Amino acid sequence: MMIDFEKPNELIARMEQKIFCPERPDCKGKLYTGIDLGTANIVVTVLDENKQPVAGALQEARVVKDGLVVDFIGAINIVRKLVQQVEEKLSRSLEEAAVAIPPGTRAEDTRAIVNVVQAVGLEVTNVVDEPTAAATVLGIKDGAVVDIGGGTTGISILRDGQVIYVADEPTGGTHFSLVLAGAYNIGFEEAERLKRDPDKYDQVFPLVIPVIEKVADIINTHIAGKDAGPIFLVGGTACLEGIEKVISRYTGLPTVKPYNPLLVTPLGIAMHC
Ligand code: ATP
């Protein structure tokens, strides 16, 4: 299936470059900031007044679990550190930010996320739902956005730009790593590194196929009878090479992913600031 991701891919690549190879941009005018508190990663993204990436920062963290802040102080400390990093890069202070919540987040859990960001001195201008943030970056209005993150897989069906169905199921990248850890009798962190090492692909992929099929099965359950359309993969686990082929085969639906799917939602949150 031909879907033109040229523009989104350019934007995502620019954001990636701002996070991992930072320079000090000279930027004036309004800034749009997004803060993504995930189970595996916390990401701060900043766009300039033309909604182009200007700075970002990312840290792996275990302070949020499936949209729930489980270590409030830890979350504040990491967000503060990332915001400071970005402020140093920009030589400017950030004043406001948007945050995102996974599908189906309860009001009190949303408040906890907002509280973390307010605690570092930022005004929260918007709480956007994750699939909407992702869809904005990808420029799509119809289809199933499947976000395979660290702890969960979020399935959201969009029609005419509206999210008409959401579900979040507890299978994500952590389960891929646990399978590898068990198979090779190694620790979780080593399994994480193995999973992400492109040179170890042959050792990884055959073992995680059953977990991918489990994800695909979850997708099937939620999209059954809903005329969901193509599947758009986002989230860090979608970085795994070939995952889209297994999901497409299992669901029978065209399945596509953009460049670095891990950064799609974080980038989209800033777009909704
Ligand atoms: P959640 O959405 O569950 O709250 P999150 O938003 O923190 O979690 P992401 O940052 O989207 O999750 O993705 C993190 C997951 O992606 C981790 O399990 C990580 O191991 C996995 N991951 C990151 N890069 C790769 C890669 N290159 N190959 C395979 N998996 C990867």
Provide, rounded to the nearest whole percent, the portion of the chain with pLDDT above 70: 99
Whether residue 139 sits in one domain with residue 115:
no
| Residue 8 contacts residue 139 (beta carbons within 8 Å) | yes
What is the DSSP secondary-structure string of 234-259?
ESGGGGSTTHHHHHHHHH-S-EE--S
| Cβ atoms within 10 Å of 149's Cβ, excluding its own | 28
Q: Which atom of ligand 1 is nearest to the CA of 43?
A: 10
Q: From the CA of 268, how far away is ligand 1's center (Å)?
A: 16
- Please write the tens of the pLDDT for every residue from 140-181: 999 999 999 998 999 999 999 999 999 989 899 999 999 999
Tell me: pLDDT of 35 over 80.
yes
The DSSP H or E segment spanning 179 is helix 173-184
> Same structural domain for residues 47 and 158?
no
pLDDT grade for 1, boundaries at 50, 70 and 90:
low
* Statement to judge: residues 141 and 81 lie in one domain: no
Encoded tokens for 57: 């920062």
Q: Are residues 112 and 146 in the same domain?
A: no
Say yes or no to pLDDT of 105 above 90: no
At 216, the pLDDT band (50, 70, 90 cuts) reads: very high
Q: Which amino acid is at 228?
A: A
In the predicted structure, residue 25 carries a pLDDT above the cut 80: no
Is residue 189 domain-resident? yes
Residue 66 alpha carbon, nearest atom of ligand 1: 4
Mean pLDDT across the chain? 94
Are 28 and 8 in contact by the 8 Å Cβ rule? The answer is no
**254 domain residue, yes or no:** yes
Confidence of residue 23 (pLDDT cuts 50, 70, 90): confident
- pLDDT classification of 106: cutoffs 50, 70, 90: confident
Q: Report how far ligand 1's centroid is from the alpha carbon of 71 (Å).
A: 19
Are both 239 and 168 inside the same structural domain? yes
Q: Among 16-25, 132-141, 151-160, 214-223, where is mean pLDDT lowest?
A: 16-25
Residues 223, 208 share a domain: yes
* Residue 90 covered by a domain: yes
> Are both 120 and 141 inside the same structural domain?
no
Q: Are residues 148 and 125 in the same domain?
A: no
Mutate to test the pocket of ligand 1, among 39, 79, 189 (most ligand atoms within 8 A of CB): 39
If 0-12 CB within 10 Å is exposed, 13-18 middle and 19+ buried, where does residue 224 land? exposed
CA torsion sign for 48, 52, 55, 56 is: positive
Is position 98 within any domain? yes
Quote the pLDDT of residue 180.
Answer: 98
Is residue 100 domain-resident?
A: yes
Judgement on whether residues 167 and 247 belong to the same structural domain of the protein: yes
Phi/psi at 51 (5° precision): 60, 35
Is residue 114 domain-resident?
yes
**Is there a domain that residue 1 lies in?**
no
Is the pLDDT higher at 23 or at 176? Answer: 176
Is 12 in the same domain as 60? yes
Report how many domains make up the chain. 2
CATH of the domain at 252: 3.30.420.40
Separation of alpha carbons 270 and 33, rounded Å: 5
Predicted local distance difference test score (pLDDT) of residue 11: 97
Angle at 75 between CA 72 and CA 76, to 5 degrees: 90
Domain presence at residue 160 = yes
Pocket test for ligand 1, best of 177, 203, 237 (most atoms within 8 A of CB): 237
According to DSSP, the β-strands at 32-37 and 41-47 are antiparallel
Are 126 and 163 within one domain? no
Q: What average pLDDT score do residues 119-125 get?
A: 98
Domain coverage including residue 86? 6-130+263-271
Contact 112, 69 (CB under 8 A): yes
Instruction: Assess whether 124 and 142 both reside in one domain.
Output: no
